[in-house]
Amino acid sequence: MKAPPYHLRPNKAVDRLTLIDAIRRVARADELRRYTYYGMGGPYLEDFRLIYELFPEIKLVCIEKDPDVFKRQRFHLPCRTHRLRLEKTQLSSFLANYEARNEKGIFWLDYTKLTFAQIAEYMELLGKVGANSLIKITLRCNPPDYQEKEPSQQQTKLDAFNRKFEALLPSPLSALPIQLKNFANLIQDMLRISAQKALPSVAPLTFLPISSFFYADTTGMFTLTGIVCRKEDLAKFRRLFRTWQFANLDWKPPAEINLPNLSTKERLHLQRHLPRRKSAGKILRRSLGYLIDKTESETELQLQQYADFHRYFPYFIKAVP
Amino acid sequence: MASENANPYKTVDATPVKSFFVHMLTRDIRLEDAILDLLDNCVDGILRPKGAVQRPRGLHPYNGFWAEIKFDGTSFSIADNCGGIPWDLHKYAFRMGRDPSRPPDEPGTVGVYGIGMKRAIFKLGTECLITTKNGDDAYEVDVPAGWMQNETDWSFPAMPAKRPMKHDGTTIVVGALHPWISERFHEETEEFGARLERMIATHYAAIINKGFEVSVNKVSVKPRPIKLLFTENARKKKQTDGIKPFMFRTKTDGVEVFLAVGFTRPIPSLDEVENEQSEKRYSSEDAGWTIVCNDRVVVYCDRTELTGWGEANVPRYHTQFIAISGIVEFSGEASKLPTTTTKRDVDASSALYLQVKNKMREGMRIFTDYTNKWKTRADESKKQMVAGTPLSFEEIKVQATKLDFTASKTSVPPGGQYKPVLPVPKKLESHNRRISFVKTKEEVQTVGEHLLGEADADPSTVGEACFDAFLKEAR
């Protein structure tokens, strides 16, 4: 099945907006004009557009190796190029030459696959960025990629996975997770070990996770955001993010983003009852007066998702040209 | 010149300085290796009370014995039920270095220098409590705060155990961790835990397979032995033994040696070698030589000159040789084994090791040669490999008893060897020609999609499809 266009993926759109939230919190600790946003942009530069519109003081650098996507990015520039620099290069080459100097970075390593090389790039980046940099990594987290009907083929896939990621696994897997949630846990554990390898205890800087999510706009994805900071600043950043709704400062299991399909009319109706600290799912279900999934509890779970993320839920409007 | 009666230069002080033991010796060993030293002591404890003739035998001689390792930012502990330290041994066990009057150890142990436990404790922290029980002896030995700064006190206070253990065994608790150790345990808990687990799973694979149980922070360690492919007797049908390891065994000066080298998996195709290098994977980890002394791994998957790679006729290690792995085992009296004081390295100058290394190279050549012959036909080679069963070192030793070993004329000391005749590719027919060329990944994907409807098709398949399409058109 063809995946929905990059800029029309509701769960990813929510994830993108949580990054915006995180940048807002970091801005309380540091001046944003000192920051540069590095991303991979995709053909439409959606994340760059958002950051430019909300934080015009942040400098922008987009890294893209594909010549045609690069041309398409030039077409979709959200602002003049003195604010947004397009770099036609591979991320690995970019990282090899990257020097933080006094600059602070906001990096989004927005991958679509799960390979050792990508995690190695993430580790390289952690070891290079300046203090107070924000790092977000997104990786494919799709259990069906590793499921085979034949037991022998399944074993081959398991062996290959264990061999490929041996250096990052807490211990070798006896089976690959079938559920998206468990696969996301596994990738988070691998990234935790990677961060500890990249910034060992003797280093003056450390990595503080601030949020982690998994979602599926058809394909399962996992995303982790964290801050590289001086150890003495850990408490300060913990305080900054402690009250954030999505904070995951202690490597707890990642949260799910799984937005329900609701009409604009339904959303506006439900939003009148929000925000709500407790029992949002139940209250919204009663307010609707009908089920949007098979059972009451499944409906409530979906509406709870809406309650959690409603402020970030994009409106995709049909327009007639 | 002063007269003999008035000699003012009578003696000079050569007593050791504590900081040498506490700070210098500990530099020679990595933290993980120091912890493995403590684990070695546990296993030596199992062997100790059984007497010289009762080295554990059978398939699971260590059944029922365990060691538990725990660490966090404030302390480190290792507890076992491996027999404890008899009070009779206290005058040797706690000294810095081995007392020459100490009775020889039982075969199978690896402790030689009398330094492992103390070095590990000093590596970790400055205070320690050792509680042990062996039969009626139940006592504890304390390394108190300030002991390491006191240059004159070379004894540790001992007393009856306040909380005697229920079983024979030893518990070592190190407190007052050095700040850098405490930080590492606290900030790298998962990374260090995974690293330690991996080292125990690989270095103690043989012992855990024989029944010993080890846990790290309450997680049980599963053994990860190296397994070599072994196909059943193929020679009856063809002029080849199929895929089997090269094996060599000998015995000299009370040390038994057994080595096996072969394939752990199918050899990689040229494309896989290229991907391996560009993907920066660590999957070479089970390639290379592993050296085992009395069941304990002292060198793991080495791919350097230390184990013969890049020496004599053996090529330097390259990703192409990712499937080749060898194990060489030395068993016998600890002091005669070719290992260093850290017990995590081989004594490269040992005469015994140098002699055995000749056979390691000889064996390795068979498999590098096979790889070179088949590297362009990895798919065909794979068919030979899939028929093989991966066997652990112990299983290979069992299989070795069923094979015809021939006397090795070139080896010193003399021994027996099994040299498999591996499959050889049929020569290319004279009218066949090989075509190879390089195109960008994107171009291969485009053609793959166009011709086969598969962007991710294997590059060689895409190339062949191209050729076939044009051949059809040309004809």
Selected residue of A145, A163, A186 to mutate for chain B interface (largest B Cβ count, 10 A): A163
Q: State whether B156 and B276 are in the same domain.
A: no
Nearest chain A Cα distance for residue B258, angstroms:
27
Whether A204 contacts chain B with CB within 8 A: no
Q: pLDDT tens-digit profile of A97-117?
A: 998 888 899 999 999 999 999
Residue B420 φ then ψ, to 5°: -70, 145
Q: What percent of chain B has pLDDT over 70?
A: 88
Lowest-pLDDT range, B17-31, B122-136, B457-471?
B17-31
Q: pLDDT tens-digit profile of B120-167?
A: 999 999 999 999 999 889 999 999 988 888 888 888 899 999 888 889
Whether A167 contacts chain B with CB within 8 A: yes
Q: State whether B347 and B299 are in the same domain.
A: yes
Whether A96 contacts chain B with CB within 8 A: no
Let me know if residue B431 belongs to a domain: no
Q: Is the predicted ipTM greater than 0.90, yes or no?
A: no
Q: Which residues of A touch B179 (CB under 8 A)?
A: none
Q: pLDDT tens-digit profile of B265-290?
A: 899 888 778 777 666 554 557 899 99
Lowest-pLDDT range, A172-186, B207-221, B244-258, B343-357?
B343-357
pLDDT of residue B431: 63
**Distance between CA A263 and CA B14 in Å, rounded?**
88
Give residue for tokens 């906001």: A106
Q: State whether B264 and B164 are in the same domain.
A: no
Let me know if residue B1 belongs to a domain: no
Q: Are strands A104-110 and B137-143 parallel, antiparallel or unpaired?
A: unpaired
pLDDT of residue B111: 59
Q: Residue B112 — pLDDT band, cuts 50, 70, 90?
A: low
Q: State whether B254 and B316 are in the same domain.
A: yes
Nearest chain A Cα distance for residue B464, angstroms:
26
Q: State whether B124 and B264 are in the same domain.
A: no
Looking at B198, B220, B242, the residue that finishes a domain is: B220
**Mean pLDDT in chain B?**
85
pLDDT of residue B51: 43
**Looking at per-residue confidence, does B312 or B353 come out higher?**
B353
Let me know if residue B10 belongs to a domain: no
Let me know if residue B55 belongs to a domain: yes
Domain span at residue B291? 228-418
Split into its structural domains, chain B has a count of 3
Q: State whether B168 and B291 are in the same domain.
A: no
Q: Which residues of B touch A171 (CB under 8 A)?
A: 194, 197-198, 201, 219, 221-222
Q: State whether B90 and B167 are in the same domain.
A: yes
Pairwise CB contact (< 8 Å): B285 & A201: no
N-terminal to C-terminal alpha carbon distance within chain A? 28
C-beta separation of A137 from A109 below 8 A: yes
Pairwise CB contact (< 8 Å): B201 & A166: no
Q: What CATH number is associated with residue B242?
A: 3.30.230
Segment B356-384 shows an average pLDDT of 90
Let me know if residue B200 belongs to a domain: yes
The answer on pLDDT for B235 being more than 60 is no
Whether A97 contacts chain B with CB within 8 A: no
When CB atoms are compared, the residue of A66, A116, A193 closest to B281 is: A116
When CB atoms are compared, the residue of B187, B222, B279 closest to A117 is: B279
Q: Residue B113 — pLDDT band, cuts 50, 70, 90?
A: low
Rounded to 10 degrees, the C-alpha dihedral B1/B2/B4/B5 comes to 160
Q: Residue B432 — pLDDT band, cuts 50, 70, 90?
A: low
Q: State whether B283 and B393 are in the same domain.
A: yes
**Greatest Cα pair distance in chain A:** 59
Nearest Cα residue to B28 out of B317, B313, B379, B345: B345
Pairwise CB contact (< 8 Å): A120 & B280: yes
**Distance between CA A190 and CA A172 in Å, rounded?**
12
Edge to edge, the sheet with strand B169-177 lists: B158-160, B137-143, B125-134, B169-177, B76-80, B66-71, B213-216, B219-220
**Distance between CA B59 and CA B107 in Å, rounded?**
18
Domains observed in chain A = 6-257 (3.40.50.150), 264-309 (no CATH)
pLDDT of residue B279: 64
The answer on pLDDT for B53 being more than 50 is no
Q: Which residues of B touch A116 (CB under 8 A)?
A: 279-282
**Distance between CA B84 and CA B234 in Å, rounded?**
51
Q: Residue B313 — pLDDT band, cuts 50, 70, 90?
A: confident
When CB atoms are compared, the residue of A116, A170, A201 closest to B194 is: A170
When CB atoms are compared, the residue of A116, A170, A196 closest to B280 is: A116
pLDDT of residue B428: 55
Q: Residue B52 — pLDDT band, cuts 50, 70, 90?
A: very low
Tell me A118's DSSP state.
Answer: H
Q: State whether B68 and B137 are in the same domain.
A: yes
Q: pLDDT tens-digit profile of A274-313?
A: 998 889 999 999 999 999 999 999 999 999 999 998 988 8
Burial class (CB in 10 A: 0-12, 13-18, 19+), B51: exposed
Let me know if residue B433 belongs to a domain: no
Q: State whether B67 and B200 are in the same domain.
A: yes
Segment B319-338 shows an average pLDDT of 91
Lowest-pLDDT range, A34-38, A97-101, B325-329, B428-432?
B428-432
**Distance between CA B298 and CA B338 in Å, rounded?**
10
Burial class (CB in 10 A: 0-12, 13-18, 19+), B440: exposed
Q: State whether B122 and B236 are in the same domain.
A: no
Q: State whether B203 and B232 are in the same domain.
A: no
Selected residue of B215, B281, B443 to mutate for chain A interface (largest A Cβ count, 10 A): B281
What's the number of CA atoms in the CB half-sphere (13 Å) around residue B235? 9
Pairwise CB contact (< 8 Å): B194 & A115: no
Let me know if residue B435 belongs to a domain: no
Let me know if residue B5 belongs to a domain: no
pLDDT of residue B461: 87
C-beta separation of B184 from A199 below 8 A: no
pLDDT of residue B163: 85
Q: What CATH number is associated with residue B126?
A: 3.30.565.10
Torsional class of B97: left (φ above 0), alpha (ψ -120 to 50), beta (otherwise)? left
Pairwise CB contact (< 8 Å): B279 & A115: yes
**Residue spans of chain A under pLDDT 50:** 1
**Looking at per-residue confidence, does B367 or A261 come out higher?**
B367
